[in-house]
Structure 1
Amino acid sequence: MRATDEASIGYILHRRPYRENSLILDVLTREHGRVSLVARKRGGRKAASPIAYEAFRRLRLSWRGRGELKTLTGFEQAGTLALGRDRLLFGLYVNELLMRLLPRSEAEPGVFEAYERALMQWSAGAPAWEVTTRFEIALLQALGYGLEPDAALQHETPDSPARRVRIPSLSAATRAAVAADTLGDARVLAELRALLDALFYHYLAGRRLRTRALLPSSFTR
């Protein structure tokens, strides 16, 4: 790594082919937020195995470049978390949510910490919906949105579906549960899910996340 390179711990959110022998990696980093990197062959060496570029691996990354698309210069695994198939679906949902909501190159250390905490809890077998909902709340708070329906209306844009979707309010009991960080009750989760799904529908201008449809409808898992 050169002295001019940027570096950070990060996780791959998404990857896609780029030109003949390269990939574009969208990564979540602690110090730089969401960054897009080109990973390609260098100096005649073989490219890293595609397995190395899988999601949910803790990585030490370095890169250089001035535009939105930067060049990966260093890549080292710093840990792996094993997610079962059902937890993997929740992880993919959260990754898609971050891809849609997080702006590029804006540090959000609170989001990074909440993401890493969610991965560890899923890996440890914690209730998947509870972990996911807790992460979504942290994400909205970090982005300055919060859980209030009135705040969503204040962020309305010409493309917002605010007039076409009802954004529910939380009961006093659910507000208390959120404040105490006790989200295990199925009724609390059901109420939060209705609010969060409506808020994300609003903030994503009416776009549905493909991975959301893959998640189980029961909040007891």
Structure 2
Amino acid sequence: MSPVDQTLQPAWLLHRRPFRNTSLIVELFLPRLGRIGAVVRGGRKDPSLSPFRPLLVELKPSGEMYSLRGCEPRGQTLQLQGKGLYCGFYVNELLTRLLHRDDPHPDLWPLYEHTLAALCQGERLDVILRQFEMGLLEEMGYGINLGYDILGEPVRSDCYYQLDPEQGLLVAAQGYPGSDLLAMLNGDWQADTRRTARQLCRALLAPHLGDKPLKSRELFREK
């Protein structure tokens, strides 16, 4: 962990849970520190400690986590509504589940902020999520090349491909249509491409998420 830092830093709250009588343990995402855990004494009374509200925080290292010494809004709470709100919870849950604490990901910060802003528009939510998932996997070192198979051959629109999550795509008799993979690469999000992208991203994320279900996916089913 870094030394005591009394400078306010930009942050987003990913998750919060009660701690003792009036305190919280929060998961925060910062451009310089990545995902961190912090204890907030008396934090349950602070209305600014909520998801989708841009924050400025003051942190102090405290054992395996930080102590949040100060917090103030740096903007208005984003107006995520309906399915867009559930998508926001999903994005936060992915970061909480997949990022290691105290592992900086500065290039992921602008992608996260862009994703939240796009979700506020309420259009093509699935495409926004696929782009975030692919960017997150790439940042973590688990991305795949949609333009080439594992032998270095260009993906062909008239072929099908299976996925090896650790290596990439390989030609097969059936599987993901090459035409959809190339459409994803080129940002051509037709209906068939969107279905293929959803299946592919789920397969890529599955080894890293494990068997524990995502709570945000349960919200979608209940909706």
User: Residue 131 of structure 1 aligns to which amino acid in structure 2?
Assistant: I
Q: Deviations over 1:138-158 (max 9, x none)?
A: 0000000013633x246xxxx
1:85 matched to 2:82? The reply is yes
TM-fit CA distance, 1:124: 2.2
TM-fit CA distance, 1:111: 1.8
2:123 and 2:56 map into 1 onto residues whose CA distance is: 26
Aligned twin of 2:149: none
**Equivalence map 1:109-188=2 (5 Å):** 109-147=106-144, 149-150=163-164, 152-153=165-166, 170-182=176-188, 184-188=189-193
2:44 and 2:199 map into 1 onto residues whose CA distance is: 42
SS, match of residue 132 in structure 1? helix
SS, match of residue 94 in structure 2? helix
SS, match of residue 15 in structure 2? strand
Q: Tell me which moved more, 2-11 or 101-110.
A: 2-11
Aligned twin of 2:59: 63
- Residues 142 and 166 in structure 2, CA contact (< 8 A), matched pair in contact too: no
More strand by share: 2
- Residues 7 and 61 in structure 1, CA contact (< 8 A), matched pair in contact too: yes
Task: Return 5+ residue gaps in structure 1 as ranges.
Answer: 42-46, 155-167, 217-221
- Residues 25 and 37 in structure 2, CA contact (< 8 A), matched pair in contact too: yes
TM-fit CA distance, 1:85: 2.0
Q: Deviations over 1:144-183 (max 9, x none)?
A: 0013633x246xxxxxxxxxxxxx964322232232233x
Q: Deviations over 1:62-90 (max 9, x none)?
A: 10115331100121101221101211101
**TM, length-normalised to structure 1:** 0.80
Q: Deviations over 1:92-151 (max 9, x none)?
A: 11111111100001111222211110110111233211111110110000000013633x
1:54 and 1:137 map into 2 onto residues whose CA distance is: 26
2:13 and 2:4 map into 1 onto residues whose CA distance is: 24
1:76 matched to 2:72? The reply is yes
- Identity among equivalent positions (%) equals 31
Distance change in 2, residues 1:209/1:106 (3 Å): same
Distance change in 2, residues 1:6/1:107 (3 Å): farther
1:36 and 1:6 map into 2 onto residues whose CA distance is: 18
SS, match of residue 51 in structure 1? coil
User: Residue 68 of structure 1 aligns to which amino acid in structure 2?
Assistant: E
Aligned twin of 1:189: 194
Q: Tell me which moved more, 173-182 or 108-117.
A: 173-182
- Residues 92 and 211 in structure 1, CA contact (< 8 A), matched pair in contact too: yes
Aligned twin of 1:157: none
1:94 matched to 2:91? The reply is yes
SS, match of residue 47 in structure 2? helix
**Higher-RCO chain (CA-CA 8 Å, sequence separation at least 6):** 1
TM-fit CA distance, 1:196: 1.2
- Residues 13 and 50 in structure 2, CA contact (< 8 A), matched pair in contact too: yes
SS, match of residue 182 in structure 2? helix
2:22 and 2:66 map into 1 onto residues whose CA distance is: 16
User: Residue 136 of structure 1 aligns to which amino acid in structure 2?
Assistant: E
TM-fit CA distance, 1:211: 1.2
Count of aligned pairs: 196
Larger radius of gyration: 2
Instruction: Compute the RMSD of aligned alpha carbons.
Output: 2.4
Task: Return 5+ residue gaps in structure 2 as ranges.
Answer: 146-162, 168-173
